[in-house]
Structure 1
Amino acid sequence: MSEAARFTEVSDLAPATESLREIRHHIHHHPELAYEEVQTGALVAEKLEQWGWQVTRGVGQTGVVGTLKVGNGTRSIGIRADMDALPIIEQTGLPYASGTHGKMHACGHDGHTTMLLGAAQHLASTRNFSGTVHLYFQPAEESGIDSGAMKMINDGLFERFPCDAVFGLHNHPGAEPGVMLFRKGPFMSAGDKAIITIEGVGGHAARPHLTVDPVVVAASIVMALQTIVARNVDPSQPAVVTVGSMHAGTANNVISSSAKLELSVRSFSPEVRTLLKKRITELAESQAASYGGKAVVEYIEGYPVVINSDAETDFAVQVARELVGDDKVVEQTDILMGSEDFAFMLQKRPGTFLRLGNGVGEDGCMVHNPHYDFNDRNLPVGAAFWTRLVERYLGQ
């Protein structure tokens, strides 16, 4: 028997596929937003206790931690899965579609949670390791500001449930199911939010000369913002400034007295992050002033850059190659402009964050889309990967 054959294979998780699918569909049908993950957390805790894990509830408000110690090994590993859904009206038409209007698992966290539960069940059954495993079921990844990862950390996550390295993953539309994508160093961008409130002078739509129209000011600011990345940021540095929300007025014959813009801002370096904040503020204020109005900018720093450590990434790549083969592993994939609060965990412990293909073309609907669904073909793959990662990291 080869060395690798002593560790978990995807085929070992095949018998659990149907039960994992049922769990995933149940979570999908009962989506809960950030810090509302009461039912989801209860389900996770119940399953873990049923399989013999020590369970701690209420970590970081609605987070759950499962702990399993086997043998005399002194090393420890942490694996994280996020649990929260999004405020989106689902349009998939699936039999297990969201049962709560306006809430939907549109980012695959139902799948992330289920894959880690699959690993938990298999690890408890086989116990083919020596050391301590902590499974971090995290709330509120989607909050963007009030991070569930940071809340768990501030609640003593790494002091109460210490690990030598921490790992996490996210599904990845645009790659075939079962394909694993890695990257050493900076991987996913910092994500900030800017809220621009424009104050003008309202009035009758037929008498615009007696007003300061905040809609015109807002339009001018939107266009000016497009020059920041194009003309202020070094072309070799990745950055994104997106105006995702624009609100003003309630009637066609009324010029509103105010307008509001909400921006998503992405960057990879501290210098560019500082520059973006400076230029957004300057442009908004000066554009508004040129029309006789006023702009107030609230700039909120969100998640930092996801920076994967080299050794842990190399290790995870090796485990993935053993599990799914070289042809399904991308060792150094492209950077991603999305953000992820797992970055906070990586600031505290070495580790890596990877991506797992969720489908291409019509089968690879982008996340945060009302037609998105996690690909159940990944359930045994992800569960087997986490199991094998633990067995290899805590090898007896």
Structure 2
Amino acid sequence: MPVINRIADFQSELTEWRRHLHAHPELQYDTVETAAFVADKLRAMGVDELVEGIGRTGVVAVIEGEGGEGPTIGLRADMDALPIEEARDLPYKSTKPGLMHACGHDGHTTMLLGAARYLAETRRFSGRVALIFQPAEEGGAGAKAMVDDGLMDRFGIEQVYAIHNMPGQVEGSFALRPGPIMAAADIFEISLEGRGGHAAFPHETADPIIAAAQIAQALQTIVSRNADPMQALVVSVTQIHAGTTDNVIPHSAWLGGTVRSLDETVRSLAETRIKEIATGIASALGVTADVTFDRGYPVTANEIRAAGFAADVARDVAGAAAVDTERMPEMGAEDFSYMLQERPGAYVFLGQGDSAGLHHPNYDFNDEIIPTGASYFARLVEMAQPPRP
């Protein structure tokens, strides 16, 4: 079954919705106008239940199937934008200086609205579907906020699915894999305290800059000498701050960065070694090191059976040749991981075609893939929960 004809019929209206959202971006939990727009559309569709304010500004709608009793499946779309100045002069360009939808969440939201409209009209499924419109994916852990607000138990969700568009992937194609598909994202900070002094008399100081430089280099051995080479790990020092002028050795220095991993054991190894390396080098050079390791989004891991089912649905919508089930994991992170920690489900990439990359000021969501994503969402429900005889 290709793209659902009924969804294709209202593609032009969905495109208008997407472009409206694009023109009115909002950050993290400030998705007040976006949530109101979504809620208004859902009310007009005649959903059976509509709850606002879950996870602060999240929206959840429930549609009852007409195919008898059954479980509840969750479908999630993120709503927030990014603090980026849009470069392209589009007719629907962002109306808010310094903000834009540079990750396609306007498209994700629209695809789920399209699926909602179709499912509310047809209701050819058993049980219920919970449509989850989430704020604050971009660094705010909105998925966790919704989970902490009781999302899964309140609506009885038994499995949950999401889509993300992917520039550079063939337009309308799907890519996924069982197991880890996106990385855990952690942040480390190292504060060094030494003894400052005149740069002409370094022997009278305990130089934190020397310590920072050696620590930055030594941290790279975590990947090359500590981690199993068959396990993915990234340790990147992204900031070093110290000093204010040329003739003063400062008393302090600070460096920080990110760790990306696909396995909890590797994640813990990186945390342990960062602390050991920083404190060890600092001690050897006569300075002190205070290390913090902030665990961020966990690994986004597709449950094996759910990934297989998602692939079947994708084949139903796009054809077998357009579905890649061996997609390499991304070392970027995604807070849908919190929902997948609570319930089985799967996260898939939908090809955006040739376009600027995600988080780029020239990016724009490809409206031509809206019917494909909406059809995938709708068929997830119809195939997971067909009407009972």
TM over 0.5: yes
Which of 261, 264, 280 is the aligned partner of 2:255? 261
Distance 1:14 1:267, change over 3 A: same
Q: Which residue of 2 aligns with 1:103?
A: 99
- What is the Cα deviation at residue 105 of structure 1? 2.1
Cα separation, partners in 2 of 1:46 and 1:245, compared to 1, 3 Å: farther
**Is contact 1:9-1:388 (8 Å) kept?**
no
Aligned match of 1:61: 56
Kindly state the Cα deviation for residue 369 of structure 1 after the two structures are TM-superposed: 2.5
User: For residues 282-314 of structure 1, what are the alpha-carbon distances to aligned partners after superposition, in whole Å with 9 as ceiling and x for unaligned?
Assistant: 122223333332221111111222221222222
CA distance in structure 2 between the partners assigned to 1:240 and 1:255 by the alignment? 31
Q: Flag structure 2 segments of 5+ consecutive residues without an equivalent.
A: none
SS in 1 for 2:138: helix
Distance (Å, rounded) in 2 between the aligned partners of 1:370 and 1:204: 44
Q: Structure 1 CA distance, aligned partners of 2:101 and 2:247?
A: 40
- 1:141 aligned partner, one-letter code: E
The verdict on how the C-alpha distance between 1:204 and 1:20 changes in structure 2, with shifts beyond 3 A counting, is farther
Distance 1:120 1:203 in 2: 66
What residue number does 1:231 align with? 225
Instruction: Give 1:101's aligned amino acid.
Output: P
Using the TM superposition, name which of 228-237 and 336-345 deviates more. 336-345
Deviations 1:87-128 (A, max 9, x none): 333333434333333333222212111111111112112222
Distance 2:192 2:22 in 1: 39
Mapping of residues 320-331 of structure 1, within 5 Å: 320-331=314-325
1:194-234 per-residue CA deviation (whole Å, 9 max, x = no partner) reads 12222234455666555444444323222221111011111
**Does the 8 A contact of 2:64 with 2:123 survive in 1?**
no
- Residue 164 of structure 2 corresponds to which residue in structure 1? 170
In structure 1, the residue matched to 2:73 is 77
| Deviation per residue, 1:220-261 (Å, 9 max, x gap) | 222221111011111011111112333334555655443332
The alignment-based identity, stated in percent, is 49
Whole-Å separation in 2 of the counterparts to 1:127 and 1:239: 45
Question: Judging changes above 3 Å, is the alpha-carbon distance between structure 1 residues 156 and 243 closer, same or farther for their aligned structure 2 residues?
Answer: same
In the alignment, is residue 14 of structure 1 matched against residue 5 of structure 2?
Answer: no
- Residue 14 of structure 1: how far off its partner (Å): 2.5
Runs of 5+ unmatched residues, structure 1: none
Q: 1:166 to 1:99 in 2, by over 3 A?
A: same
Q: Report SS of the residue matched to 2:115.
A: helix
| Equivalent residue number for residue 240 of structure 1 | 234
Give the C-alpha shift of residue 129 in structure 1. Answer: 2.0
Q: Which residue of 2 aligns with 1:33?
A: 27
Distance 1:228 1:83, change over 3 A: same
CA shift, 1:394, in A, is: 2.1
CA contact (8 A) 1:242 1:265 kept: yes
The AA in structure 1 aligned to 2:65 is: V
More deviation, 188-197/240-249: 240-249
Within 2, Cα distance between the matches of 1:254 and 1:103?
Answer: 40
Single out whichever of 162-171 and 83-92 deviates more from structure 2.
Answer: 83-92
Instruction: Note if contact 2:178-2:302 (Cα within 8 Å) is conserved in structure 1.
Output: yes
CA shift at 1:319, angstroms? 1.4
Q: In structure 2, what is the Cα distance between the partners aligned to 1:240 and 1:126?
A: 47
Give 1:37 deviation, angstroms.
1.2
Structure 2 equivalent of residue 290 of structure 1: 284
Give runs of ≥4 in structure 1 deviating > 6 Å: none
In structure 2, distance between residues paired with 1:131 and 1:110: 28
Q: How does 1:124-203 map to 2 (within 5 A)?
A: 124-143=120-139, 147-203=141-197
Task: Note closer, same or farther for the CA distance 1:126–1:272 as it changes in structure 2 (3 Å cut).
Answer: same
- The code of the aligned residue for 2:110 comes to T
Corresponding residue number in structure 2 for 1:395: 386
Residues 305-341 of structure 1 show CA distances to partners (whole Å, capped at 9, x for unaligned) of 2221222222221111121111111022112212222
SS of residue paired to 2:219: helix
Report the Cα distance in structure 1 between the residues aligned to 2:308 and 2:329, rounded to whole angstroms: 17
State the alpha-carbon separation in 2 of the partners of residues 88 and 254 from structure 1: 37
Given residue 364 of structure 2, which amino acid in structure 1 is its aligned partner? D
Specify whether residues 201 and 101 from structure 1 end up closer, same or farther in structure 2 by C-alpha distance, changes over 3 A only.
farther
CA-based RMSD of the aligned residues comes to: 2.1
What is the rounded CA distance, in whole Å, between the counterparts of 2:199 and 2:205 in structure 1? 9
Contact 1:244 1:263 in 2 (8 A): yes
| Worse-matched range after superposition: 47-56 or 190-199 | 190-199
Task: Work out whether 1:376 is the aligned partner of 2:367.
Answer: yes
SS in 1 for 2:160: strand
Q: How far apart are the structure 2 equivalents of 1:275 and 1:307?
A: 19
CA deviation profile, 1:363-392 (whole Å, cap 9, x unmatched): 2x3222333222222211111111122122
TM-score, scaled relative to structure 2: 0.92
Match of 1:42 in 2: 36
Partners of 1:105 and 1:62 lie apart in 2 by 18
Moved more, 232-241 or 300-309: 300-309
Check whether the contact 1:12–1:384 (CA below 8 A) recurs between aligned residues. no
